[in-house]
Amino acid sequence: MPDPTIAQKASYPVDLAPGDYWWCACGLSKKQPFCDGSHKGTTFTPKKFSVTQAETKRLCGCKHSKNAPFCDGTHKSL
C-alpha cells in the first residue's frame, strides 16, 4: 500500500458538534481534515468517527497517526 500524502505536519484542531464525520486518510482532500471524495481511484478509504458531545479534537494532518483520526504526534518525526 502506498503512503498517504502528508496534508500538513501538524494536527488540525477542530470544534465538532455531535454527529458522524469522515476523516481524510489519503491526504488529497481539499477540505482537510475531512474527506471530499478525492481518494476515489486510490487504495485509501476515509475513516468514519463519531462525536457524542460538542468538543474540540485534534485530528491528524500527516495521515500517519497510529490513533487515526486523532493526532498522536507522529508528524514530529516525519
pLDDT at 1 over 90: no
Number of neighbouring beta carbons within 10 Å of residue 59: 22
| Rg of the chain on CA atoms, in Å | 12
Which cell numbers hold the place of 31?
477540505
AA identity, residue 33 = P
* Span 24-74, pLDDT tens digits: 999 999 999 999 999 999 999 999 999 999 999 999 999 999 999 999 999
Q: What is the pTM of this model?
A: 0.95
Domain boundaries, the chain: 12-77
Q: What is the pLDDT of residue 76?
A: 97
